[in-house]
Amino acid sequence: MPEHEAEARQGSPAREVGVFLRRRREQIAQRWADEPLFRAVFTVSRDEAVEAGRTVADALAEVATAERVVDPEAAGFTLVREQLARMAASRARAGLGTAQVSREVDALRPPVVDLLVADLADAPAGRLRECESALTVLLGTLRLVVLETALSEGEALIDRQRLQLLEVATPVIKLWDGIVAVPLIGTLDSARSQVVMETLLEAVVDQQARYAILDITGVPTVDSLVAQHLMKTVAAARLMGAECVVSGIRPAIAQTIVHLGLDLGTVVTRASLADALAHALHRLGADIVHASSGGAGSR
Amino acid sequence: MTDEFSRPPVAPVPVLRLGDVLLVTLQGDLHDSTAEQLQQDITERIGSSGATGVVIDISGIEIVDSFLGRVLAEIAAKAGLLAARTVVAGMRPAVAITLVEMGLTLPGLRTALNTEAALHLLGDPARSGSAVPRPGRR
């Protein structure tokens, strides 16, 4: 032990912290297991928490030995990144905000610092202060890594959901031979309107549809951008030889469109999907008549 | 059109006559000189045959540029001066999107889903529909 410590003393403070972390790995893991972060995540057994603490301590020791205490991209962290992400995600599920998770990670610091101070009691005061500061920086970096991992998890989730939304939200429905409809739901952005336009036009070709109905009952707001996308879709459908009917423009949206000064004059509009369908059927020469009033049409 | 480009051995686009209608099918790349020749052919054929309609089938065209858009608009305008109506048939979705994104909505042009629909459109201007459609026929 003495020559080991002497060797460590010769190195930089970061190296010495690395040696200290390896030496006290067991005690650190035991103390961390009692901290809320580990206790709340590993509820099954304390041994599991201690094991997780050991892994984190090892990773920190590796980073310290590599003298990269300020670098969240250090190679040592990659080993525990997944575990940290799991822990952060588990805390987030428990309803903790980012700041609270951050505070819990910070709570890992005092026990380790206490151990370090006890270990280096006989070292010169300056040396002790250097080592303590290196350790503090290292744990600060750990905090950053945890938060960064948690955030990137969240971003991945959002990306996944956005893709799902794109796939789910644009069904093209065949209403009649030669008539297709797209019920639009939710806010339209450029990416979504692009998908809507492509799927609608593909359906027009596939089903040889002469009429395409864009129903915007489920669109909460219409701004100039959305209106422009609608116009583009209508123009593209017309170029292909289909006629586009826009239906479901609610009174509030109609007012907005007029207030914005948008000219939808070239677009055929109907109040509801039913009206649009009736219009398309009429143009196809297939009028709907009530059996009681018409009578002659049934034969 | 410029002479420094060696003119590729491209056959002129055939202009077929079906009754009162001229049928033109465009495929692949439309070369500048071919387009020029085609416009001339169409106007001459309208003049000599007295056709009242022109159908341009572009279902074989997958890539479009502003040049093609202009050619279509010009053919329509020239045919219009000779009292013939022009219908563009079978435009692919990608082509339609590209034209719209370029701002070429070709307002004066009639369009149809396919050649058959285009012939119907020209044959019966009052009622542009075909037979009464029934669900589940496909």
Residue A239, chain B, CB below 8 Å: the answer is yes
Domain locations in chain A as residue ranges: 2-165, 173-287
Predicted confidence (pLDDT) per residue in B58-83, tens digit: 988 888 888 888 888 888 898 888 88
More confident residue, B132 or A126: A126
Residue B105, chain A, CB below 8 Å: the answer is yes
What integer pLDDT is reported at residue A212 of this predicted model? Answer: 94
What integer pLDDT is reported at residue B128 of this predicted model? Answer: 38
Chain A contact set for B134 (CB, 8 A): 177
Is B9 within a domain? no
- The enclosing H or E element of A211 equals strand A211-218
Is B2 within a domain? no
Is B7 within a domain? no
CB A189 within 8 A of CB A226: no
Residue B89, chain A, CB below 8 Å: the answer is yes
Predicted confidence (pLDDT) per residue in A280-292, tens digit: 999 988 888 888 7
What's chain B's length in residues?
A: 138
pLDDT at position A13 over 70: yes
What integer pLDDT is reported at residue A110 of this predicted model? Answer: 87
| Mean pLDDT calculated for residue range B30-47 | 88
pLDDT at position B55 over 90: yes
Is B6 within a domain? no
What integer pLDDT is reported at residue A175 of this predicted model? Answer: 92
Confidence of residue A73 (pLDDT cuts 50, 70, 90): confident
Task: Confirm or reject CATH 1.20.1440.230 for domain A2-165, answering yes or no.
Answer: no
- Tell me the backbone φ, ψ of residue B63, rounded to 5 degrees: -120, 135
How do beta strands B53-60 and B110-112 pair? unpaired
- What residues pair up with B25 in beta bridges, in sequence order? B57
pLDDT at position B54 over 80: yes
Q: Give the long-range contacts of residues A197-203, CB within 8 A, separation 24 or more.
A: A197/A229, A197/A232, A197/A233, A197/A236, A197/B97, A198/B93, A198/B97, A199/A170, A199/A172, A200/A172, A200/A233, A200/A237, A201/A233, A201/A236, A201/A237, A201/A240, A201/B93, A201/B96, A201/B97, A202/A172, A202/B93, A203/A172, A203/A174
Class of domain A173-287: alpha beta
Chain A contact set for B100 (CB, 8 A): 232, 235-236, 239
CATH of the domain at B101: 3.30.750.24
Residue A39, chain B, CB below 8 Å: the answer is no
Pick the closest to residue B49 from B76, B21, B91, B29 (CA basis).
Answer: B21
Distance CA A63, CA A17 (A): 10
ipTM of the complex: 0.73
Is B80 within a domain? yes
pLDDT at position A105 over 70: yes
Distance CA B118, CA B116 (A): 5
The alpha carbons of chain B give a radius of gyration, in whole angstroms, of 16
What integer pLDDT is reported at residue B134 of this predicted model? Answer: 38
Is B70 within a domain? yes
User: Which residues form the domain of B41?
Assistant: 18-123
Average model confidence (pLDDT) for chain A? 83
Is B35 within a domain? yes
Taking an 8 Å cut-off on Cβ atoms, the answer to whether B113 and A198 are in contact is no
What integer pLDDT is reported at residue B127 of this predicted model? Answer: 40
Taking an 8 Å cut-off on Cβ atoms, the answer to whether A241 and B92 are in contact is no
Which of A240, A263, A284 is most worth mutating to test chain B (most B CB atoms within 10 A of its CB)? A240
pLDDT at position B26 over 60: yes
Pick the closest to residue B57 from B105, B15, B11 (CA basis).
Answer: B15
User: How many distinct structural domains can be found in chain B?
Assistant: 1
Predicted confidence (pLDDT) per residue in A205-220, tens digit: 999 999 999 998 888 8
| Mean pLDDT calculated for residue range A87-92 | 80
Is B101 within a domain? yes
